[in-house]
Amino acid sequence: MKRPGVRSPRFDREAFVLGVGLGGAAIALGLLIAWATLSAPAGPSSSTGFTTAQRLARTLPHSVQGQLALGLAGVFVLLGLVAVLLGLGAVMKHLAARRRS
């Protein structure tokens, strides 16, 4: 039952869009990293470049590199899920406040 003179709370559209948008982007990036890691050919790279990043990458075994990449992908997916759930939480918060007023 609505109380007289009490306005319905406004929906926080920015929180919803930011949560779902950044969450979706983080999930997509995590899935892209995981896909690239799992579908990459086995063995060393045929590149002849000697940048600092390539020298550092050569010091780690390929299995460790794959585990680190998959771990990073998992972190991105989990952060994306948290962001999406926070965006959906803004919707639930709005609906609960609207039901009370």
Distances (CA, A) of 41 to 24, 46, 73: 28, 11, 18
Instruction: Flag whether pLDDT at 24 surpasses 90.
Output: yes
Domain count across the chain: 1
User: Would you say the pTM of this structure is higher than 0.85?
Assistant: no
Q: What is the pLDDT of residue 47?
A: 63
Q: Is residue 7 part of a domain?
A: no
3-state secondary structure 77-93: HHHHHHHHHHHHHHHHH
Residues 6+ apart with CB under 8 A from 71: none
Q: What is the DSSP letter of 46?
A: -
Q: Is residue 29 part of a domain?
A: yes
Domain span holding position 91: 13-38+60-100
Q: Is residue 6 part of a domain?
A: no
Using DSSP's 3-state secondary structure scheme, residue 3 falls into coil
Q: What is the pLDDT of residue 49?
A: 64
